């Protein structure tokens, strides 16, 4: 047997007390449901906010990517690379590598050592051997180079090109190597035939002549 005293018996609840207890329990249950509803509402708001932010972020990223693509496309369109469209013996027709570009005019500048005057073209980009042929022959003779070239020789020139892209004017200043061959004739002098051009580098206008002359000295050092 246990010596512990039994808990006192609670007096029976009156009907009023029972009703009050049931009302209190119902109120507690309602409060729990209200609290749960508030939590779910907050969660729904958070999810909605995250969805809106994600949608905005995706649109923003897409617009930024499209803008970057447009800038790159614009930069490519404004970057001129000339190629030889047609190679003749004494003339070389030029054109842009991109069909979106339209050449308006060009100025060709030659190495100072040649003493050849700059040549201008308008609407018909080209290089003609007559613009530099005789000074080139003299320079090669002074450098004691062979009368007949062994493959393609190189003459650096600066080409300043004004061109249009979608109606917008642009200017490009770059050094190109003009490929040529030369053959000597004992009594008739020499003959220069043009072969093509190759891009070397872009230069600033105020530094173009100095860089051109430096390249000329490297290709045809004085003897």
pLDDT above 70 as % of the chain: 71
Instruction: Give the mean model confidence (pLDDT) for residues 7-24.
Output: 63
3-class state of residue 153 by DSSP: strand
Instruction: Give the mean model confidence (pLDDT) for residues 102-126.
Output: 95
Does residue 107 carry a pLDDT above 60? Answer: yes
Does residue 29 carry a pLDDT above 80? Answer: no
Other C-beta atoms within 10 Å of 124: how many? 10
β-sheet bridge partners, residue 129:
none
Give the CA angle between residues 117, 213, 207 to the nearest 5°.
90
pLDDT score for 3: 62
Does residue 39 carry a pLDDT above 90? Answer: no
Q: In this predicted model, what pLDDT tens digit does every residue of 164-219 receive, in sequence order?
A: 998 899 999 999 999 999 887 645 567 889 999 999 999 999 999 999 999 999 98
Does residue 75 carry a pLDDT above 80? Answer: no
Domain extents for the chain?
12-77, 82-219
| Lowest-pLDDT choice from 19-28, 102-111, 148-157 | 19-28
Residue 115 near residue 213, CB atoms below 8 Å: no
Does residue 50 carry a pLDDT above 70? Answer: yes
89 pLDDT band, cuts 50/70/90, is confident
Token look-up 């590598």 returns 97
- The order of strands in the sheet holding 119-122 is 119-122, 101-109, 153-165, 168-185, 189-202
Q: Which two tokens mark 214?
A: 């430096």
Residue 189's region, left for phi above 0, alpha for psi from -120 to 50, else beta, is left
Query: Average pLDDT of the chain?
Result: 82
47 pLDDT band, cuts 50/70/90, is confident
Taking the C-alpha atoms of residue 38 and residue 150, their distance in angstroms, rounded to an integer, is 90
Does residue 65 carry a pLDDT above 60? Answer: yes
Q: In this predicted model, what pLDDT tens digit does every residue of 133-142 receive, in sequence order?
A: 999 988 988 8
Distance of CA 24 to the CA centre of its chain: 74
């Amino acid at each position: 047997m246990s010596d512990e005293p039994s808990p006192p018996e609670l007096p029976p609840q009156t009907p009023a007390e029972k009703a009050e207890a049931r009302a209190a329990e119902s109120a507690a249950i309602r409060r729990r449901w209200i609290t749960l509803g508030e939590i779910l509402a907050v969660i729904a708001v958070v999810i909605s906010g995250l969805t809106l932010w994600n949608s905005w972020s995706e649109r923003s990223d897409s617009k930024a990517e499209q803008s970057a693509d447009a800038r790159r496309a614009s930069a490519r369109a404004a970057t001129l690379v000339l190629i030889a469209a047609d190679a003749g013996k004494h003339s070389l027709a030029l054109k842009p590598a991109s069909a979106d570009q339209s050449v308006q005019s060009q100025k060709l500048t030659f190495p100072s050592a040649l003493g050849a005057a700059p040549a201008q073209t308008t609407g018909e980009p080209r290089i003609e051997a007559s613009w530099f042929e005789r000074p080139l022959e003299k320079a090669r003779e002074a450098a004691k180079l062979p009368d007949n070239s062994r493959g393609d020789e190189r003459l650096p020139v600066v080409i300043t090109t004004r061109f249009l892209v979608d109606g917008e004017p642009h200017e490009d200043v770059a050094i190109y190597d003009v490929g040529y061959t030369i053959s000597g004739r004992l009594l008739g002098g020499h003959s220069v035939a043009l072969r093509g051009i190759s891009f070397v580098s872009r230069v600033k206008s105020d530094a173009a002549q100095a860089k051109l002359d430096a390249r000329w000295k490297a290709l045809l050092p004085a003897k």
